[in-house]
Amino acid sequence: MSSKALAERAEDAPPRRGRRKEARPGELLDAALDLFVEKGFAATRSEEVAARAGVSKGTLFLYFPSKEELFKAVVRENISGRFAEWNEEFESFEGSTAEMVRYCLNVWWERIGATRASGITKLIISEARNFPDIAAFYHQEVIQPGMQLVRRILLRGVDRGEFRAVDIEYTIFSVIAPMIFLIMNKHALGACIPQDYPMDPQRYVNAQVEILLHGLCVPEKKA
Amino acid sequence: MSSKALAERAEDAPPRRGRRKEARPGELLDAALDLFVEKGFAATRSEEVAARAGVSKGTLFLYFPSKEELFKAVVRENISGRFAEWNEEFESFEGSTAEMVRYCLNVWWERIGATRASGITKLIISEARNFPDIAAFYHQEVIQPGMQLVRRILLRGVDRGEFRAVDIEYTIFSVIAPMIFLIMNKHALGACIPQDYPMDPQRYVNAQVEILLHGLCVPEKKA
Amino acid sequence: MSSKALAERAEDAPPRRGRRKEARPGELLDAALDLFVEKGFAATRSEEVAARAGVSKGTLFLYFPSKEELFKAVVRENISGRFAEWNEEFESFEGSTAEMVRYCLNVWWERIGATRASGITKLIISEARNFPDIAAFYHQEVIQPGMQLVRRILLRGVDRGEFRAVDIEYTIFSVIAPMIFLIMNKHALGACIPQDYPMDPQRYVNAQVEILLHGLCVPEKKA
Amino acid sequence: MSSKALAERAEDAPPRRGRRKEARPGELLDAALDLFVEKGFAATRSEEVAARAGVSKGTLFLYFPSKEELFKAVVRENISGRFAEWNEEFESFEGSTAEMVRYCLNVWWERIGATRASGITKLIISEARNFPDIAAFYHQEVIQPGMQLVRRILLRGVDRGEFRAVDIEYTIFSVIAPMIFLIMNKHALGACIPQDYPMDPQRYVNAQVEILLHGLCVPEKKA
DNA sequence: GATGAATGAGAGTTCATTCAT
DNA sequence: GATGAATGAACTCTCATTCAT
């Protein structure tokens, strides 16, 4: 009991180097995400995950019955079910659709792209064919809702006469592709090759948005 | 004539335990490329590569001293040093820069994107951090020359007043990103998830080009 | 009482899958010495060493990173650095040099020749050319100090007028050769051929010593 | 018959770089002896033997059905059946037994010790326990006749009053041990360690003989 | 609960041996 | 006869997983 009290206190006061039982699975998932993204599923050793999380090999298997289940948990954990929230923002957004696109991609960068969660995208791309059910899950939970959100935005632009009457289904990819590219650069080549050109993510996102909007918007006819 | 017929039949069903020293490395590299792209380096078993090439485990090691060398050979073999040729085409191209962009991406799709060589891109993205020297090699042999070619095209457009004065360095990515996206779709999720939307690569490429050119071109002032 | 009985029984039949981190390396080194001496390094299978030590293949590699390192550890472990002790005995020895020679070879037989450590000599002879660095190590740690000790003994004998003025450097071999021969007999042919002549090591050593001393000593001139 | 004539002619006129079919097995046996002595049976690759003999892997197996049979042939080939000849020399020897011992060991050095045949001894010692039947064969063909010859020499010395009445059986080893030691030095440590002391075989043999004879001979009573 | 010693199936690699050429 | 490409059994070593402590 007194130990439980201690544990609770430990939670109140941020972890002072103490091991908090409740935090273990999360720490393992964080460690696993990093390593899976870095080396791939097969090339990551379970023991390394445990070591990075500061626990022993055995403890890992106490929380996850197998390396494969760990992988699935990593994906599940890092798939933000934030589309409900984002759809709400969409509904109540009052500015122009161009502003909406700008806002949307910047928010995406802040909340996903710049965080460890972005690693999931690289992980899925690398491992999709070894874990088709995980790929299907990701497709359903992330890709479809994401595309649907983009679709609604593009439709809004076209409906309101802000955007040209482009082929919406293919234009969705014009929004998504630069983001995928940024993540791949962050987690693959960019992570191991000293870049010979500057690559500031914020500026990159803005540049892509501007090109995209130039391509989408109807020319403003000024008297 | 009958000997010719025999030869043809032999081609249909290649001889088991035949001695085909010249053909083996290529067959093994083909098999290895497929499997590495499909499952990743670590998850691909040497014996599986051999089996797909129609030889035994031992034969693989007759031609490649280790699985890692096989990997490197796969990358080397499939990295086209075609930039010289493409640069020449660039020099002698006489149409508008917009036409050049259209031509360029369509040619890329035909010669790289649609072929097995495109798998290399996925492979590199997945394995870069496990093989930094291979990543560096790819960067030097493919990414840098590729970016340089795109850079020259964009500069031509801007210089000739066809394109707006965009930030060239970041705009390069607007050309590349959709192609990377297409390859990832082909070799990762798209290869294992039944797509619920149509994805015709030719139309995809054209759609991306049109959005891009809309974003790049200065509005044509008529009369 | 019953618990004590149980413990004793457990000692008789050591626990399978027991955790005995301290004891393992020694048991593995013992097993490896036996097998390397018996079959040679290359012909000894790692799994066999493990099995003789009562553990599984994997456990061997838990303690030694490779078969080669196991070999080196076997040699290191069994090379007694007892020359300091023996040199002290030499310094304080008070009898005749002939007695010293007798004492010396008998002690050698008791402490080295008759023990498993003697196998190292056969091992080194068999594997020297495959492990030149190990051979050099053995030369430095065993052969040189050993020859130096014998050299000092012979010099003492000559200096004190007990031994004839023989060529010391070559006479050293007259002391060593019979010991090497005995070990080779013990671990090579003698170990697999039913000897057709009696070979009692103790008597063998004594016989060699007597021949040797007869060869070395100056004839006692009796009035 | 004509092939026999050819062989003889080939012997007369030294091989002019031409491949002589008849010589193949011999070249293979020579190569095999060298390599088996150097690296041991298990660590020697068949292909290496073939390469050193200047033929292909396949050819080796044309002459010897297996690596093991090659080993046996190497031993057989290099075991001199010269004891008949030596026994004759013994019978007709007219000098003192001491001279006989000197002569005997010097001849041994010239005809065996200094030649590649001496490698067989090291080979047998290293591999005896892996090839007990070969060991038995060697014991019967070499060790027993060799010991018998030494035995007869020692008996002659004792019978004629030249040698002391030593324990003949154990004294045999005093003759053999230095020779074994010399061979071991030549083929094991001595072959891979830069000796820090001089080791002239001829002088070594003489030194051992003199010590031995001093130990054996009855003091010459002068006057 | 946590640990890490122990396991053993499985992967990469070697090499004696075969056999089509 | 000679060759060397091909084979596959056997070996070293790895690592996910178990379980006694």
* CATH number of the domain within which B205 lies: 1.10.357.10
Q: Answer whether C193 sits within 8 Å of D128, measured CB to CB.
A: yes
pLDDT grade, residue B222 (50/70/90)?
Answer: low
Question: Distance (Å, rounded) from C-alpha D118 to C-alpha D173?
Answer: 18
Give the CA dihedral C17, C23, C29, C34, nearest 10 degrees.
-70
pLDDT at residue A119 greater than cutoff 60: yes
Q: Answer whether A215 sits within 8 Å of B219, measured CB to CB.
A: no
Domain boundary among B35, B51, B70: B70
Region label for C60, one of left (φ > 0), alpha (ψ between -120 and 50) or beta (otherwise): alpha
With touching defined as 3 or more inter-chain CB pairs under 8 Å, the answer for chains A and B is yes
Q: Is residue A3 part of a domain?
A: no
Q: Is residue A10 part of a domain?
A: no
Q: What is the pLDDT of residues C168-216, one digit of tens each?
A: 999 999 999 999 999 999 999 999 988 777 789 999 999 999 999 999 9
For residue A41, give the nearest of A115, A113, A118, A120 by alpha carbon: A120
Q: Which nucleotides of E are covered by protein (CB under 7 A)?
A: 1-21
Tell me: do A203 and A136 sit in the same domain: yes
Tell me: do D93 and D59 sit in the same domain: no
Domain boundary among A8, A38, A70: A70
The mean pLDDT value for B101-123 works out to: 94
Question: Distance (Å, rounded) from C-alpha C216 to C-alpha D21?
Answer: 55
Tell me: do B152 and B181 sit in the same domain: yes
The mean pLDDT value for D43-64 works out to: 97
Q: Is residue A4 part of a domain?
A: no
Q: Taking CB atoms and an 8 Å cutoff, what residues of chain C touch D124?
A: 188-189
Q: What is the pLDDT of residues A55-78, one digit of tens each?
A: 999 999 999 999 999 999 999 999
Q: Answer whether C208 sits within 8 Å of D135, measured CB to CB.
A: no
The mean pLDDT value for D207-218 works out to: 94
Query: What Å value separates CA D25 and C1' F6?
Result: 25
- Rg, Å, chain D Cα set: 21
Query: What Å value separates CA C152 and C1' F10?
Result: 51
Question: Distance (Å, rounded) from C-alpha B187 to C-alpha B190?
Answer: 6
pLDDT for C189 equals: 94
Tell me: do A102 and A160 sit in the same domain: yes
pLDDT for C222 equals: 53
* CATH number of the domain within which A39 lies: 1.10.10.60
Query: What Å value separates CA B57 and C1' F11?
Result: 15
Q: Which domain, by its residues, includes C200?
A: 79-214
Across all residues in chain B, what is the average pLDDT?
89
Q: Are B30 and B53 in contact (CB under 8 A)?
A: yes
pLDDT at residue A25 greater than cutoff 50: yes
Q: Is residue D185 part of a domain?
A: yes
Tell me: do C92 and C181 sit in the same domain: yes
Chain B: partners with 3+ C-beta pairs within 8 Å: A
Q: Is residue C184 part of a domain?
A: yes
Helix-strand-coil split of chain B, %, nearest 5: 75, 0, 25
User: SS3 of A170, please?
Assistant: helix
Of how many residues is chain C composed? 223
Decide if A218 touches B, using CB distance below 8 A: no
Q: What is the 3-state secondary structure (H, E, C) of D19-75?
A: CCHHHHHHHHHHHHHHHHHHHCCCCCCHHHHHHHHCCCHHHHHHHCCCHHHHHHHHH
CA of A60: nucleotide with nearest C1': E2
In this structure, what token pair is assigned to residue A43?
């090339």
Q: Is residue C9 part of a domain?
A: no
Tell me: do A61 and A86 sit in the same domain: no
pLDDT for B19 equals: 75
pTM of this structure: 0.90
Query: What Å value separates CA C71 and C1' E15?
Result: 22
Number of domains in chain B: 2
Q: Is residue C6 part of a domain?
A: no
Query: What Å value separates CA B185 and C1' E3?
Result: 44
Please state, for a pLDDT cut of 90, what percent of chain B lies above it: 79
pLDDT for C14 equals: 46
Q: Answer whether A124 sits within 8 Å of B191, measured CB to CB.
A: no
Question: Distance (Å, rounded) from C-alpha B32 to C-alpha B28?
Answer: 6
Contacts of B21 (CB under 8 A, 6+ apart): none
Tell me: do C173 and C127 sit in the same domain: yes
User: SS3 of A163, please?
Assistant: strand
pLDDT for A2 equals: 46
| Contact map slice: D 3-22 vs C, CB within 8 A | none
Tell me: do A46 and A134 sit in the same domain: no
Q: What is the pLDDT of residues D145-159, one digit of tens each?
A: 999 999 999 999 999
pLDDT for A5 equals: 44
Across all residues in chain A, what is the average pLDDT?
88
Tell me: do C101 and C175 sit in the same domain: yes
pLDDT grade, residue D222 (50/70/90)?
Answer: low
For residue D149, give the nearest of D217, D214, D85, D201 by alpha carbon: D85
Q: Which amino acid is at B218?
A: V
Of A139, A170, A213, the CB nearest to B193: A139
Contacts of C182 (CB under 8 A, 6+ apart): C109, C113, C201, C204, C205
Q: Taking CB atoms and an 8 Å cutoff, what residues of chain C touch D207?
A: 166-167, 170-171, 173-174
Of C43, C144, C208, the CB nearest to D173: C208
Higher pLDDT, B175 or C9: B175
Identify the residues numbered 54 to 83 in chain B whose C-beta atom is closer than 7 Å to any atom of strand E. 57-58, 61-62, 65-68
Q: Is residue D27 part of a domain?
A: yes
User: SS3 of C117, please?
Assistant: coil
Question: Distance (Å, rounded) from C-alpha B200 to C-alpha B4?
Answer: 41
Q: How far is CA C209 from the centre of its chain?
A: 19
Asked if strand E comes closer than 7 Å to C46 Cβ, the answer is no
pLDDT at residue D170 greater than cutoff 50: yes
Q: Answer whether B169 sits within 8 Å of A198, measured CB to CB.
A: yes
- Rg, Å, chain C Cα set: 21
Question: What are the CA-CA distances from residue A48 to residues A51, B41, B223, D68 (Å)?
Answer: 5, 19, 69, 46
pLDDT for B21 equals: 81
Within a 13 Å sphere around the CA of A98, how many CA atoms are in the beta-carbon half?
A: 17
Contacts of C65 (CB under 8 A, 6+ apart): none
pLDDT grade, residue B200 (50/70/90)?
Answer: very high
Tell me: do D141 and D178 sit in the same domain: yes
Question: Distance (Å, rounded) from C-alpha A127 to C-alpha A132?
Answer: 8
Decide if C46 touches D, using CB distance below 8 A: no
Tell me: do D177 and D199 sit in the same domain: yes
Higher pLDDT, A120 or C23: A120
Q: Kindly report which listed range (B143-152, C64-73, D194-203) carries the lowest average pLDDT score.
A: D194-203
Decide if B136 touches A, using CB distance below 8 A: yes
User: SS3 of B147, please?
Assistant: helix
Q: What is the pLDDT of residues B49-91, one digit of tens each?
A: 999 999 999 999 999 999 999 999 999 999 877 888 899 999 9
Domain boundary among B70, B87, B109: B70
Tell me: do C46 and C150 sit in the same domain: no
